[in-house]
Amino acid sequence: MIAGLFKFNGGVKPDTHKNESAQTPIRTAPMPARLFVPLRQSARTTARCIVQPGQKVLKGERIGVPDEFLGTAIHAPTSGTVIGVELHTMAHASGLGTRCVIIEADGEDRWIDHHGFDKVDATREDKLAWLRDCGVVGLGGATFPSHIKAGRGTGIDTLVLNGAECEPWITCDDRLMREQPADILAGALILQELVGATRIVVGIEDNKPEAIEAMRAAVKDTDGDITVTAIPSIYPAGGEKQLIRVLTGIEIPHGKLGADFGVQCFNVGTARAVYRAMAFGEPLISRVVTLTGNVEQPGNVDALIGTPVTDLIAQARPKADTNRTLLGGPMMGFELPAQDVPLGKGINCLIACSPSLFPPPPPEMNCIRCGACARACPADLQPFELYWFSRAKNFGKAQEYHLFDCIECGCCAYVCPSHIRLVDYYRFSKSEIWAREREKAAADAARDRFEFRNERQEREKREKAERLAAKAAATKAKLAEEAKAKEGESGADTGAKAGEDDAKAALIKAALERAKQQKAQVQAKNTDNLPPGVEAQIAEAEARRQAELAPEVPAQDTPPDAPEKQ
């Protein structure tokens, strides 16, 4: 049993502006003509698209499947036709594009056949796989997969349900707790079973009395150790580590998570999504989002994932002097680079801005090292040191000062008398570090591939040389055996071979003699009735031929004792 509340260091108390949008019930946003469903639902992973342009899809049909450990499935928010799978501006300050499945709604909103989870003979792994296939992720902003966050099912004592919603202007969790507390608690009980916790603690800021009352009333109808606790309204009490500190007194140190200390934290919207997935088999295809700021009808709407922000803001009827739109709250949010970006699972608020409501920030001045940022930092960092290191691009030193412990809550920038946009510097440093790590990982992978290629070539060369050596040895052995066998046979064959050679020579000599005789007997057949002159020439030629065929008589040498002629 928790005896009381605890405090965390730092924090600020900005104007909450909760009443503007918290007074009206949640509405269902009209269905847009086209939905741009991002395949990238978080910064960690992207789903693999399994539909093609021209394909008909039903509401809740799977259009993307996870390819990685941290991935979850993506589903069609309504029935219609896939008209494209292409890049579209994503809801990020960079304005970069991401692959989206563009669905043209048919207006029928027909569900695919779906049903709740069958618990008969189901294991814990089956339940986690069901959540993954239903695309359930954290709806507090980080969109971390819930089936991963549920852990191993052991080592967790306390499940913290985060209903603090400390960021100004945002009221989607407030309205959800007021209107659907039973669904939230049902989801919390499912999560409690999955993580193996023995108790549930619901933390809600004390500026939401209706939500506290609704949740406490729902708890009365539920069995189990569940406590609804009102916590002081101080920003950022809704941060996971800060909320765990306030509710349990546990200080989560650098590099550790709540699960390392027996505490796991889920957003109230996530708990509701878990309940809908397990009870009805409904994938996460919509979420509650706050529309507020410089609008005539602020409130909360339940909108389909992939709905263009332009359509959502139009539902709140922005005033004529609206000049930009903030995504998220004014402390941690950012200005949208375009109005046609689609709604993602992690988007909880859209704020229409005007020059009078959100005046342009004053120009930055030099840091005077007053230390106000350090006193306001809830993570016990030294923001002014991180600022100097980030500005000098000394990223290694920034990491030494625990840059990645910064939750980007904006408290430091809120109190800075020099109006330095400190969080932007931290985000820049983090993105540069991540980019360099990605480059290093790519270089390492390329080096590994090169070394593997060299090793493979050396191995193939070695194996080829071994094969050739083995073949040469086998040939040499075979020749040696053949030579040995010939040596044994050579003695018996010598005599017969000599006789065969003599017979062949006699036959050749006889053939040559017959050819010579036939040639001598050849008589010309075209010498009949020739003129006498021609016959004389032929006779003369025949005489010469006969003379040439006659055996040559050697010239008689002069006897050595004959007298010399005078």
Q: What φ, ψ does residue 246 adopt, rounded to 5°?
A: -65, -40
| Pair of tokens at residue 340 | 């046609």
Q: Are the C-beta atoms of 62 and 47 separated by less than 8 Å? A: no
Q: Is the dihedral of CA 437, 255, 202, 299 positive or negative?
A: negative
- Which tokens in the block code for residue 395? 């990223």
The C-alpha angle 441, 442, 443, rounded to 5 degrees, equals 90
Q: Are strands 334-335 and 349-353 parallel, antiparallel or unpaired?
A: unpaired
pLDDT tens for each residue of 516-553? 888 777 665 666 677 888 888 888 888 888 887 766 55
List of residues 6+ apart from 388 with CB closer than 8 A? 367
Whether residue 236 is preceded by a cis peptide bond, meaning omega within 30 degrees of 0, is: yes
Is residue 56 within 8 A of residue 110, CB to CB? The reply is no
Cα–Cα–Cα angle for 179, 180, 182, rounded to 5 degrees: 135
**188, 200 Cβ separation under 8 angstroms:** yes
Nearest residue to 75 via CA among 83, 66, 84: 66
CA–CA distances in Å: residue 566 to residues 249, 563: 157, 9
- Sequence-distant (≥ 6) Cβ neighbours of residue 291 within 8 angstroms: 21, 297, 298, 299, 300, 301, 312, 313, 315, 316, 349, 350, 352
Q: How far, in Å, CA of 536 to CA of 530, rounded? A: 10
* Distance from C-alpha of 263 to C-alpha of 279, rounded to nearest angstrom: 25
* Phi (first) and psi of residue 33, to 5 degrees: -70, -35
pLDDT reported for residue 494: 61
Residue 244's SS3 state is helix
For tokens 């608020």, the residue is: 349
CA end-to-end distance (rounded Å), the chain: 164
Pairing of strands 158-163, 263-267: parallel
* Rounded Cα gap, residues 412 and 427, in angstroms: 14
Give the CA distances from residue 557 to residues 433, 550, 553, 554, 560, in Å, rounded to whole numbers and listed in that order.
Answer: 117, 21, 12, 9, 8
d(CA 44, CA 427): 16
Distance between CA atoms of 460 and 468, rounded to whole angstroms?
12
CA distances from 402 to 145, 272, 381, 532, 564 (A): 25, 34, 7, 132, 136
Quick one: tokens of 407?
A: 């939750």
Helix axes 172-179, 209-220, angle to 10 degrees: 40
**Dist. CA 258–CA 481, nearest whole Å:** 79
CB atoms within 10 A of CB 156: 22
Ordered per-residue pLDDT tens for the chain, 566 residues: 445 789 888 999 999 999 999 999 999 999 999 999 999 877 678 899 999 999 999 999 999 999 888 889 999 999 999 999 999 888 887 778 889 999 999 999 999 999 999 988 899 999 999 999 999 999 988 789 999 998 888 889 999 999 999 999 999 999 999 999 999 999 999 999 999 999 999 999 999 999 999 999 999 988 889 999 999 999 999 999 999 999 999 998 878 889 999 999 999 999 999 999 999 999 999 999 999 999 999 999 999 999 999 999 999 999 999 999 999 999 998 888 888 899 999 999 999 999 999 998 889 999 999 999 999 999 989 999 999 999 999 999 999 999 999 999 999 999 999 999 999 999 899 989 988 988 999 999 999 999 999 999 999 999 999 999 999 999 999 899 888 888 777 655 665 666 677 888 888 888 888 888 887 776 656 666 778 888 888 888 888 888 877 665 554 544 444 444 43
Predicted pLDDT of residue 565: 43
Q: Beta-carbon neighbour count of residue 112 at 10 Å?
A: 15
How far apart, in whole angstroms, are the C-alpha atoms of residue 303 and residue 146? 21
Residue 202's H or E segment, with its range, is strand 199-205
Q: Which residues, including other chains, have CB under 8 Å from residue 362's CB and lie 6 or more apart?
A: 419
Residues in the chain: 566
286-293/349-353 β-pairing = parallel
User: What does the angle CA 332 – CA 336 – CA 339 come to, to the nearest 5 degrees?
Assistant: 145
pLDDT tens readout for residues 4-37? 789 888 999 999 999 999 999 999 999 999 999 9
**What local confidence, expressed as pLDDT, does residue 419 receive?**
94
